[in-house]
Amino acid sequence: MWLCHMISCMAGLCFDMYGTLCDTSSVRARLGEVLDVPDRLVAAVDETWRRKQLQYSYQSAQMDDYEPFWTVTSHALDYALAAYDLDPDAEARDRIRDAYDHLEPFPGAVEALTRLSEAGHDVVVLSNGDPAMLERLAANAGLAPHLDDVLSADAVRTFKPDPAVYEHAAEALDRPLDDCRLISSNAWDVAGAGNAGMATSWVNRSRDPPETIGARPDREVSTLPAVADDLS
């Protein structure tokens, strides 16, 4: 009876990649290195790039005009550069985009994935990134050996927080939605997964308030090792 109870506690744990497992702050450093402009301008370009990256992914999904996340990211970069009258050549733009392949994992990322896997959970990435992006980053960041799979929204040709993405993860894990848990630092992602029927853990490093629309997080922590403390 006790063993059956323990097995039922094992879940499919779906980690967001960008901003949750891996720190995107190094993208700003790459922009500064390549563009060689004042820090204030680098910050403005970086913020515009990220804002447009999210906007274009939502827009693409709403317009039913899907493009892979790498393409969306490229369009967003082009917009951000044009917005500040910057026109680096194609090689420079490639160097900037390449930063997304070489992000550093957050402290405790490998430890958390390892502990959760050893506890018997299925541990996967679930990201808007397209498969090639995610595979490169997982390998470069040293996360790949600690993951059971890397799942991409590309499989259903839309983006989180569309319920189809979370449903795809449950199907890939061969589990009901309520036996899967999203772990993300993005409050909008947590709200979307909760609305779709997943359990959720919010890695709230900035102590932000939860979203005021969509489901509230089931659990809230401030670090990745705290996720493992909570679920192992």
Residue corresponding to tokens 């040709």: 157
Q: Name the helix (H) or strand (E) containing 56.
A: helix 39-62
Residue 94 a catalytic site member:
no
Q: Which of 16, 23, 154, 189 is catalytic?
A: 16
Helix (H, G, I), strand (E, B) or coil at 87: coil
DSSP string across 139-191 = HHTT-GGG-SEEEEGGGGTS-TTSHHHHHHHHHHHTS-GGGEEEEES-HHHHH
Backbone angles phi, psi at 228, to 5 degrees: -65, -40
For β-strands 104-105 and 22-23, DSSP reports them as antiparallel
By residue count, the chain amounts to 232
List of E strands, the chain: 12-15, 22-23, 104-105, 122-127, 149-152, 180-184, 199-203, 219-221
Distance between CA atoms of residues 103 and 26, nearest Å: 7
Active site residues: 16
